[in-house]
């Protein structure tokens, strides 16, 4: 009896979701693709978890579709239904943050460039309904890419998958903290020789003596170790190919760099300075707010505010 009630409730819920999806989604999709054609957009970008029926998605050979996913299951489901599937870190983010994170990933993969126009669609997954349409031009909207003269070619000597893994670890630290408390973190990726010349150890290097294979950030079993060590003072320095060179480093010379954004804290100032002086990227997590920030050429490239309270 209880099983039948659950089954009936699930059926009713599916019917309600289907009716809600029919209210707005087809019309927003139609409008989005029409607008994209009219303004010469590079692509239409939308959340995959809002679509209940892939047949709703128009197929146009001259217009790319980017689907944003957060889990491996969503990614598997979305493959084959769009030009590109962009999986962003699986942590709670508001709508705009997910879009910004997906755009950054597309840039790192060379799928977008400065000046590209996008039509972005979002909605609430639990209602299975698209309800928001946003048109933006890469490099001109929000604080997304800092100053207009900052290069949007992100990956000089950095493997995209290395950047994505480090960004995911930083996003998890931003959301989770450690043991229910906020924790700061600082990762510098690429141009490691120049970065190491401008640094000194705060602690004994916990990665010294291990093979390059054991220090490879792409190894899933290394993630928890990195998250644990992130609570130590100092920065991680990671090669563009993913090998961790050191942790617990103090980066030097921030006072020598001119034109840095005023009002930055110590960690963010160091991140701005090292990326101004080298070809590295830096990712920081604020110890006080959990805000995740990406730096390039001394400027903020992306900033994601934490959107949920810490849980002990």
DSSP 196-208: HHTEEESS--TTT
**Domain assignment of residue 92, yes or no:** yes
| CATH classification of the domain holding 63 | 3.40.1380.20
Residue 116: domain span: 2-137
In whole angstroms, what is the distance from residue 43 CA to residue 33 CA? 9
Q: Specify the number of domains making up the chain.
A: 2
Statement to judge: residues 129 and 211 lie in one domain: no
Query: Are 15 and 58 part of one and the same domain?
Result: yes
In a domain, 170, yes or no: yes
Query: Same domain for 96 and 174?
Result: no
Q: Are residues 46 and 181 in the same domain?
A: no
Q: Mean pLDDT across the stretch 53-59?
A: 80
Residue 311 pLDDT exceeds 70: no
Paired tokens of 24 = 């707005």
pLDDT tens across 143-188, in order?
A: 555 555 555 566 678 999 999 999 999 999 998 877 667 788 999 9
Single pTM value for the model: 0.82
* 115 lies in some domain: yes
Residue 147 covered by a domain: no
* Whether residue 99 is found in the same domain as residue 175: no
User: Of the segments 24-28, 168-172, 230-234, which one has the largest average pLDDT value?
Assistant: 168-172
| Encoded tokens for 37 | 């054609």
For residue 309, how many other CB atoms are within 10 A of its CB? 7
Domain boundary residue, one of 75, 104, 137: 137
DSSP bridge partners of 283: 187, 294
- Copy the structure tokens of residue 57: 């998605």
pLDDT score recorded for residue 165 = 96
């Amino acid at each position: 009896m209880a099983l039948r009630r659950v089954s009936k409730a699930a059926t009713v819920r599916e019917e309600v979701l289907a009716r809600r999806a029919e209210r707005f989604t087809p019309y927003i999709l139609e409008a989005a693709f029409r607008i994209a054609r009219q303004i010469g957009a590079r692509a239409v970008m939308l959340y995959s978890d809002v679509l209940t029926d892939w047949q709703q998605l128009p197929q146009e050979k001259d217009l790319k579709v980017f689907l944003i996913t957060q889990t491996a299951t969503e990614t598997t489901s979305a493959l084959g239904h769009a030009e590109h599937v962009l999986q962003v870190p699986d942590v709670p983010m508001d709508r705009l943050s997910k879009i910004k994170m997906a755009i950054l990933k597309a840039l790192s993969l060379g799928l977008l460039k400065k000046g590209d126009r996008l039509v972005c669609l979002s909605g609430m997954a639990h209602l299975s309904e698209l309800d928001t349409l946003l048109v933006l031009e890469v490099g001109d909207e929000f604080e997304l890419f800092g100053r207009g003269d900052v290069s949007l070619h992100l990956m000089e000597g950095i493997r995209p998958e290395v950047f994505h893994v480090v960004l995911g670890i930083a996003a998890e630290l931003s959301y989770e903290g450690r043991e229910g408390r906020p924790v700061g973190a600082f990762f510098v990726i690429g141009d490691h020789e120049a970065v190491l010349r401008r640094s000194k150890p705060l602690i004994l290097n916990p990665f010294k003596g291990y093979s390059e294979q054991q220090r490879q950030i792409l190894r899933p079993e290394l993630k928890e170790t990195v998250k644990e060590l992130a609570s130590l003072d100092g920065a991680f320095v990671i090669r563009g190919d993913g090998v961790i060179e050191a942790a617990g480093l103090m980066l030097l010379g921030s006072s020598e760099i001119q034109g840095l954004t005023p009002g930055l804290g110590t960690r963010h100032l160091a991140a701005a300075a090292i990326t101004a002086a080298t070809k590295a990227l830096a990712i920081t997590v604020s110890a006080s707010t959990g805000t995740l920030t990406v730096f390039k050429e001394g400027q903020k490239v992306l900033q994601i505010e934490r959107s949920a309270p810490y849980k002990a």
